[in-house]
Structure 1
Amino acid sequence: MTNRSFRRPPVQIAAPVAAVCTLLLLGLWIRGADAQSQPDIVLVPHRATYDMKLSVTRPNSGIVDVSGRMVLEMVDSCDAWEVKQRIKLKFLRNEGDEFDTDSSFTSYETKDGLGLRFSVRNIQDDEVEEELRGHADLQAAGAKGRASFTLPEARSFELPAGTLFPTTHLMLLIQHARAGDKSVSYGVFDGARLDGAFQVNAVIGKPPRGPLPPVRGDVALLRGQQSWSVRLAFFAAGDQGTANPEYEMALDLLANGIARSMLLDYGDFAVEARLVQLQALPRPRC
């Protein structure tokens, strides 16, 4: 690995997610407009803490160890979902030197799926390597839109028809999982890059087998929930089918939007995130 700053993957599942793609299946963006109104898709406001460690290191990565923590917070603010995520990691290279990264992401996405405000900051060894800020709006569900940045510079560009914002994408993934769909693909914009939306391919499988590691806190949020193994591949716009994804993410995703575990695959290495603490956040009286 070179000395370039560490780049995190899209954050929302969100994402979720995410992190969180270009539409490939005809007509699915119309169903996406109805995702929030589905009575059986109820995201739970929560704060989740994950321990992170190196899972896989590949030849020539230069990385021999990774450790750290991620905190993901999802807040219901009546007409929008506020998502806050912070990832702090320590890397050890094979030469013996270390570097620290501190990546934070915040977003405010309206529940109609048409508006997004976002802020991103990536720090390496106490120096700000990247800072992004701006907003995006869609003309209507399934219609085109526009993203505008104020940091690092004033920039504006069109979002193609069918683009989703991260929380809408998360809800739609859950809807597809409940319906038994095995794969879907969408365009998702989260503000984490200056050159447009990601193309995100999702493969939806059965829940992971075996006992789950213990979790502290409000574990009742994990009980009685359907779950699925979801693999997400993130492509830069126009790269799908012609290149490897920029990032991949594997999730153990619950029907209420909580991820019990994640695997963040950066290509040269992969980092595992395991849920260790969970706190329910209050729902507002709207």
Structure 2
Amino acid sequence: MPVRFRPAAVVAVCLLAAAPAAQAVELTSHRAAYRLVLDPARPNQDVESANGAMLYEVVDRCGAWTVQQRFTLQVVGRSGQAYEMSSDYVTWEAREGTRLRFRLRQATDGTVTKTIAGEATLDGPGGTGSARLTAPEQREIALPRGTLFPMIHTLRLLEAARRGDRVLAAPVFDGTSEDGAQDTNTVIAGRLPADPAVGFAALRDVASWRVRIAFFAPGGTGQPEYEVGIRYFENGVADELKMDFIEFAVAGYLAEFERLPGGCN
């Protein structure tokens, strides 16, 4: 889930992209609102408080998925300095995983600091391809073999979780960086059975997994640039987030959830 929650993360490339699932994963079209707070479990030496919200919406359009994500976070440093981060992220992704249209706008205290827009194509799911940016400037970026787009990654992640796989790694391109596909490593914890105590009735009969996804600069080694922890239900809904920005970390809690109509019917 940009900031991307980074809605993305990725998978063990060509082999994984070609691996059949024992049972098809069906992602639920939905709208989810998350309350964001400073993560108390993580030391945040320079940050006194952080509060905000994220709205995430995904809809199955039969031949494609559309995603909208809006994110706002107010941060106060221990020195008393305060600022507001915000982002608006929109994508259209073909179901076969070969086309992605994207637009990202980020701002600090109301001043736009980054705008990225364009379209990416692959010669096949998990294949090579390119991204053609129209903003901040017109240019083309090569995408390496194994690249996956965000929603295809979510499907592959849940398929891997169902198989009992524990680690996935591959490049992912989601349109949030001018540097191209980011290398990722995903760790999947054991399956959690359906829990009648879950706060939303639509999720109480659904199994879930906790995953942690680390994002690295292309070809990078060492420490990740960003990490996110998510509890994913097997229908693609997330209800617990941990977003580690390295300097500080934010916890996200599902505050509102609504199923949306989608699919080919």
Output one character per residue of 1:115-155: Cα deviation in whole Å (capped at 9) or x when no partner. 00000010111100111101100012232101011000011
Cross-structure match for 1:227: 208
**Does the CA contact (< 8 Å) of 2:93 and 2:151 recur in 1?**
yes
What is the letter of the counterpart of residue 225 of structure 2?
A: E
* RMSD (CA atoms): 2.2
Maintained 8 Å contact 2:69/2:90: yes
Task: Kindly provide the amino acid, as one letter, of the partner of residue 181 in structure 1.
Answer: D
Distance 1:39 1:171 in 2: 11
1:5 corresponds to which residue?
A: none
For residues 149 and 246 of structure 1, do their structure 2 counterparts lie closer, same or farther at Cα, with a shift above 3 Å needed? same
Report if aligned partners of 2:182, 2:218 keep a CA contact under 8 Å in 1. yes
> Structure 1 101/212 Cα, relative in aligned 2: closer, same or farther at 3 Å?
farther
Return the match for 2:155 from 171, 179, 182. 171
Residue 72 of structure 2: which of 64, 84, 88 is its match? Answer: 88
Secondary structure at 2:39 match in 1: strand
Could you tell me how far apart the structure 2 residues matched to 1:208 and 1:283 are?
27
Closer, same or farther: CA 223–213 of 1 in aligned 2, 3 Å:
closer
Q: How many residues are treated as equivalent by the alignment?
A: 262
- SS at 2:124 equivalent: coil
Matching of residue 245 in structure 1 with residue 224 in structure 2 = yes
In 2, the alpha carbon distance for the partners of 1:207 and 1:52 equals: 25
| Offset of residue 104 of structure 1 | 1.2
Structure 2 letter corresponding to 1:27 = L
What's the CA shift for 1:40?
3.1
Shift of 1:258: 0.3
| Mapped partners of 1:140, 1:9: distance in 2 | 27
CA 1:254–1:139: 2 relative to 1, 3 Å? same
Query: What's the counterpart of residue 4 of structure 2?
Result: 10
Change (3 A) 1:128 1:213: farther
Alpha-carbon offset, residue 165 of structure 1: 0.2
Return the letter of the residue paired with 1:11: F
2:15 is the counterpart of 1:27: yes
In structure 2, the residue matched to 1:53 is: 37
How far apart, in 2, do the equivalents of 1:93 and 1:212 lie? 39
Structure 1 CA distance for aligned equivalents of residues 261 and 12 of structure 2: 37
TM-score by length of 2: 0.92
> Which residue of 1 is the match for residue 253 of structure 2?
274
Contact 2:148/2:172 (8 A) holds in 1? yes
- Give a deviation string over 1:231-254, Cα, whole Å, max 9, x none: 111111111xx3200011111110
Task: Return the offset for 1:220.
Answer: 3.2
Relative to structure 1, the CA distance from residue 104 to residue 212 in structure 2 (aligned partners, 3 Å threshold; closer, same or farther) is farther
Distance in 1 (alpha carbons) for counterparts of 2:171 and 2:70: 24
Instruction: Note if contact 2:3-2:71 (Cα within 8 Å) is conserved in structure 1.
Output: no
**CA spacing shift, 1:280–1:227, aligned 2, 3 Å:** same
> In the alignment, what sits opposite 1:124?
108
> Gapped runs of 5+ residues in structure 2?
none
5+ long unaligned stretches in structure 1: 1-7
**Secondary structure of 2:179's match?**
coil
Residue 147 to residue 26, structure 1, CA distance change in 2 (3 Å): closer
| Match runs of 1:83-232 below 5 Å | 83-206=67-190, 215=199, 219-232=200-213
Contact 1:69/1:88 (<8 A) preserved: yes
- TM-score w.r.t. the length of structure 1 is 0.85
Aligned partner letter, 1:28:
L
Asked if the contact 2:161–2:191 (Cα under 8 Å) also holds between the matched residues in 1, the reply is: no
Q: Does the 8 Å contact 1:9/1:266 carry over to 2?
A: no
1:66-119 deviation digits (Å, cap 9, x = unpaired): 001011000111110001111111000111121111111111000000000000
Task: Give distance in 2, aligned partners of 1:110 and 1:128.
Answer: 29
Question: Which residue identity lines up with residue 65 of structure 1 in the other structure?
Answer: S
1:66–1:243 CA distance, 2 compared to 1 (3 A): same
Using the TM superposition, give the Cα deviation of residue 25 of structure 1 relative to its aligned residue in structure 2, in angstroms: 6.1
